[in-house]
Each structure stands twice: as C-alpha cells, then as structure tokens.
Structure 1
Amino acid sequence: MGIRELLKISSPDLLPAHADQPILTQESPLYMALMAMLSTRNGFYSLESSIHVYSLSGLSAGSNFTLERWNKPELWKDAYSGVADNIFCFGQDLFGNQYCFSDERICLFDAETAELEYMAATLDEWAELVMNDNYWSGHSLAHSWQAEYGAVTPGHRLIPKLPFILGGKFEAANLHCFENVKAMHYRAELFIQMRDTPDNTQVKLKII
C-alpha cells in the first residue's frame, strides 16, 4: 500500500500527539484517510525533505505547520485573492507547491501560477506518485542541493531565485532556502502581478 510504504521511509512524528488532539470531522473518504495517516504519523518529512506533510495538531499548538493553522486564510491564502480559498492543503513538495484536496480529488496547487493539477483519487495513489515520480516531489533536486549546501532547514522550502514561470532553471544553483510562509507570500505577489497580463509584461521581483 502506498501510504504504508511512504511512512517506512519518512521521519518520525513532527509533533507529539496529545489526548485532546482535535480531529478532522469531514466524512469524505479523503479526509478519513488523512486522519488515519496522521493518527499513525503526526506530520513528517520524506525523501530527503522534498515532501512535507503537515501535522494534525500537537503540543506546539502555535505551529504554522498544523493543518488548522496552515489552512487559515490569513496565514497565506488571502494573498492569492480568493484563488486558494476552496482548497484544503495537507502537505507540500520541495518548492512549496501544495498537496491539497479539491472537489474530492488530490491536486497540486502551483505556488507560482495558482493552477491546480490533478494528482490522484486516493491518498495511497498520491503516496505512490510522490515516491516513484520525481515530478511530484522534486526529490532529485533536494538531493543535489543538499549535497552542496547542507540540509534543508525545517520550516523552509527551496524557492527559485529566478521563478520557474519566468524561465528559472530546475537546478540547485537557482534554489534558495526560504521560510515557508514568506515564500508563499512572495509567489502570491508574483501570481497577482502576472495574472491576466499580456506576454512580455514587466514584472517587479523582490530580492529574497
């Protein structure tokens, strides 16, 4: 099974569970499967930190990387001006693209373009994809970057210095280790600038 195999190669729980830990109350198969996975492993990193799955909750209730906190609109979703309102994010790839539920499907929310790309119908299918197809995790770049620069700092993702949508290369030299929430706001600003603009429009980038 996909989830079982993924957990075998993943980190220990990121947050310790506690007795009054809240649960996801939605009755859909996807939410129930996520609840089961997080009851087994309360958040984790995998594949050299290229995959980050958020915790259900834990003793560090203020953590940005619990499901409840990460999906609060004011943390980063509001920066996308409504486009990210109807997705429920449960993890992210190496670049901060969000693994999410949308209309009872698992999709990837592209942080630069705000586009949704269908991934899978079940969490087991999702787990098989991220383990076996580098496209969905960025694992090979995680390996290359860390071999040269060291481990990815917890709470950070590798963000392109020149955004991919503007021609930035998928290579270690174009990546910068950046804090997750700030990185989402940076890409949201890029998305807002580029949305509905003609080709060859000038874009103003903040230096990170």
Structure 2
Amino acid sequence: MSQQALNDLLAQGGGALAAPLPAEELQYVPEPLRPLISKRNGFYAFGPALYVRPWGAGYQGNCLWWNAKDLWRQEYKGVGDDLLFFAEDLFGFQFGLARSGFYSFDPETTEREFMAKDVFGWAQKILSDADNLTGAPLGDAWIEQNGPLPLGTRLAPVVPFFLGGEFEVDHLNPIPEVELMRFRGDVFQQTKDLPDGAQVDLGF
C-alpha cells in the first residue's frame, strides 16, 4: 500500500499534539505505527472527528495512558486486550492494532472489523469512507449548533447506539472519554448474555 494515503490523511489533519519523538523513544512505538507517529505525533483530522493519540508519557491523552489496564479496560474483563487502541472516531469508537493488522472496535458490543494489514492501508480505508468511519458530518453539525467540542470528550447519546440511540445532533452530548468507555464497558457486561428485549440498567 502506497505511503501517499498516509500523506493524504495527514493533509486532512491539524498540527501535531506532541513534539516529535527522538529516535531512542520512537523505537518503543510498535513498528506498524511508526510511519504514522514519526510523521506527526498525535493529531485531529476532519475537525475533531478523528483523534490519533500522541505517543510519549509526558503528553495528555497519550496512547500508553489510554491503554492502561486500570483506566477503563478493566470494565471489559479481558475482551479486546490483544488490541492497542491508538485512535478513535467522533463517538469514541476505537481503532486498534493487533498482531494481524489494524481493526475498528465497537466499544458498545466489542465487535471488531479488520481494516488493513498496515498503517498505509488503514489510512486509505479512513480516506475512502471518512464520513462513516470518523463521524465528521455530525461533528461539523454539532459544532455549528453548540460550539467547539470540549477537550477530552467524545459525542454520545444517553442511550447507546446499539440499544436505539440516535445519530442525530440533538441527541448527542459531549461525555468525558474515560467516563464514556467505562460506561460502555459496564453496559457490555450487562448485555452480552441477555436475550433480546431484556431490561438494562444504564445508570448514566
């Protein structure tokens, strides 16, 4: 897959969220992510819709912090532990790296979908269907109506999407990202073995 796709994705993004990593630190970034992180260490693209996390312990929202087991991942009780989450869409749906390649990950249901074997293919996939894979049009509409999306939040309905929450501006609220993922992990645990039509305590 051509490196051009990655360059084109970066052209849709804003400035780096963190300083470039020196070579001695870049070696600790998983090899499949190095072409991305070495070019721009964290950024937003398509407005705030696509969020690629910076690498490096000193930066707010960094990838290592986000993947810590005691932050929100414990709510999933091991599901998705083979994925390193490095980016997300407007709604906090994750993009992750596994040994076999790059995946999208639905934190409400834990369903995953293979996207590409390398970061260039992942970038091409994002570019080919950016509206659906990032949520950018809804992000633009929400910002026009409400102003900038607060830092550290993602947009989500009170009722999870898979339970009938609507992809509509008036039904979306900015939720702190860690709080949102913990909530989704809890709902997943409640619903994963339930029959259709069972009651769920959202508590949110």
Question: TM-score higher than 0.5 here?
Answer: yes
Q: Determine helix, strand or coil for the equivalent of 1:113.
A: coil
Q: Secondary structure at the match of 2:87?
A: strand
Displacement, 1:69? Answer: 1.3
How far, CA to CA, are the matches of 1:86 and 1:187 in structure 2? 18
Contact conserved, 1:156 with 1:177, CA < 8 A, in 2?
yes
Cα deviation for residue 19 of structure 1 reads 4.4
Deviation at 1:56, TM superposition (A): 1.2
Letter in 2 for 1:7: L
Residue number among 64, 67, 81 corresponding to 1:71 in the alignment: 67
Is this contact kept in 1: 2:93–2:106, CA < 8 A? yes
Distance 1:185 1:123, change over 3 A: same
- Percentage of matched positions with identical amino acids: 31
RMSD: 1.8
Q: How does 1:25-44 map to 2 (within 5 A)?
A: 25=28, 31-44=30-43
Q: Given residue 84 of structure 1, which amino acid in structure 2 is its aligned partner?
A: G
How far does residue 18 in structure 1 lie from its aligned partner after superposition? Answer: 5.5
Where 2:102 maps in the other structure, the secondary structure is strand
1:154-169 residue pairs with structure 2 within 5 A?
A: 154-169=151-166
Opposite residue 184 of structure 1, the aligned amino acid is M
2:139 to 124, 139, 142: 142
Q: CA offset at residue 182 of structure 1? A: 0.8
CA distance in structure 2 between the partners assigned to 1:36 and 1:18 by the alignment: 12
Give the Cα–Cα distance (whole angstroms) in 1 for the partners of residues 27 and 62 of structure 2: 12
TM alignment of 1:1-208, pairs within 5 A: 1-17=4-20, 19=22, 22-25=25-28, 31-57=30-56, 61=58, 63=60, 65-133=61-129, 134-207=131-204
Size of the aligned set, in residue pairs, is 200
Long gaps (5+) in structure 2 = none
Deviation at 1:171, TM superposition (A): 1.1
Deviation at 1:93, TM superposition (A): 0.7
One-letter code of the match for 2:195? P
Question: Which deviates more, 125-134 or 99-108?
Answer: 125-134
> Deviations for 1:50-91, whole angstroms, at most 9, x for unmatched residues?
100011116xx163x212111111111111111021111111
**What letter is aligned with 2:118?**
T
Q: Quick one: which amino acid aligns to residue 198 of structure 1?
A: P
Shift of 1:132: 2.9
Residues 89, 99 of structure 1: 8 Å contact kept: yes
Say if 1:13 and 1:43, in contact at 8 Å, map to a contact too: yes
SS of the residue 1:99 aligns to = strand
Runs of 4+, deviation exceeding 6 Å: none
Deviations 1:3-38 (A, max 9, x none): 101111211111224648623547xxxx42411221
Answer yes or no: is the 8 Å Cα contact 2:35–2:119 preserved in 1: no
